[in-house]
Amino acid sequence: MKKTVSFLRAPAFLVALAALPAQAEEWRFCVGVAPAAHETVITDIFASGAESAQIEHRLEAWFRTKRGKTLTFQCPRGAPERFAALNAQTAALQFNRQMGFAVNGLPAAEVVALASGAHL
């Protein structure tokens, strides 16, 4: 006996799949580096569900446009606990200071707006 596939189940599956959250928000921070200028920007800790590459590109574009600086940003994978992200941010801050880089901050309010695409 040949089994038939019920096409009534497919729409129900798609509806259930669409109801899933895109990506859970994680606590994270980003580090932007301009090696030639010995300058680093480390953002405050912020919560975001956006992809790291998307945030990095937005930060790079914002710095080029608003501050006239070219920095390369990296936003490490986030953590569900704020404390873990804060520890990683502190380690990044210490490392960049040991390397002799001037370290500047970027407030969380600016980063959250950039991560959500509000400024771009």
Q: What is the pLDDT of residues 27-50, one digit of tens each?
A: 999 999 998 888 999 999 999 888
Q: What is the mean pLDDT of the segment spanning 65-85? A: 91
Q: Beta strand 46-48 with 72-74: parallel, antiparallel or unpaired? A: unpaired
Question: Residue 72 in 3-state DSSP?
Answer: strand
Q: What pTM does this model have?
A: 0.73
| Alpha helices (H) in the chain, listed in sequence order | 9-19, 52-62, 82-98, 108-115
Q: Domain extents for the chain?
A: 23-115
Q: How far is CA 94 from the centre of its chain?
A: 21
Quote the CA–CA distance of 114 and 52 in Å, as a whole number. 12
